[in-house]
Amino acid sequence: MIDGPFTVAIDGPAAAGKGTVSRALAERFGMAHLDTGLLYRAVAAQALAGADPVAAATSLMMAELERADLRTPEVAQEASRVAADPEVRRALVGFQRRIARQAGGAVLDGRDICTVIAPEAEVKLFVTASAERRAERRFEELRARGVETTLEEVVGDVRARDERDARRRDAPMVRAEDAEVVDTTAMTIEEAVEAASGFVERALAAR
């Protein structure tokens, strides 16, 4: 059990593997885990159903993150749009920061964790991969869930989302200057987890 707060902040584009790496790190080191993208997906799902995004973000409950429809392409695209709304982001900042600095440690992954949510994090990682490799992974994931799409459509979605996330005025997706890069383009899941674990182990040893 980690004594006191200890934050592992992980940023990166869609389908780079940051969620898989984050969950593995949380399990290996006994820390809590929060996929912050699910917060925006939960808000997006409500927005697609007609709710006001800011109101949905303000009243968001943890149970909303368990919805079965949060991984669809439609929700993913809407999540990128609502995440560009400064009011939505502000409504969710406090929620994320409380998780990040809780006793026992926490791993958070998203797009502005290192730069906005937890700039004081003990470990900062930027998990990335080529757009083509990320699209292949997302396509395989969607096909496994029975979602009808084409690789070309997924490549287009990935590139559009990257551009939107990088260009938004409020908390754009950028690599923090002090974040370590883990490029998973040619890595297996095991290799990516081991690479990320090394940074966590060194930070814990230096406490």
Binding residue positions for ATP: 12-20
Whose CA is closest to 115, among 202, 4, 10, 6? 10
Distances (CA, A) of 71 to 13, 158, 204: 15, 14, 33
Q: Give buried/exposed letters for 4-23 (b at 16+ CB in 10 A, else e).
A: ebbbbbbbbbbbbbbbbbbe
Summarize the annotated binding site as residue ranges.
12-20
Beta strands 32-35; 106-110: pairing state:
parallel
Whose CA is closest to 123, among 106, 103, 111, 110? 106
Distances (CA, A) of 143 to 9, 138, 139, 154, 162: 30, 9, 6, 11, 21
Tell me the C-alpha distance between 86 and 162, whole Å: 18
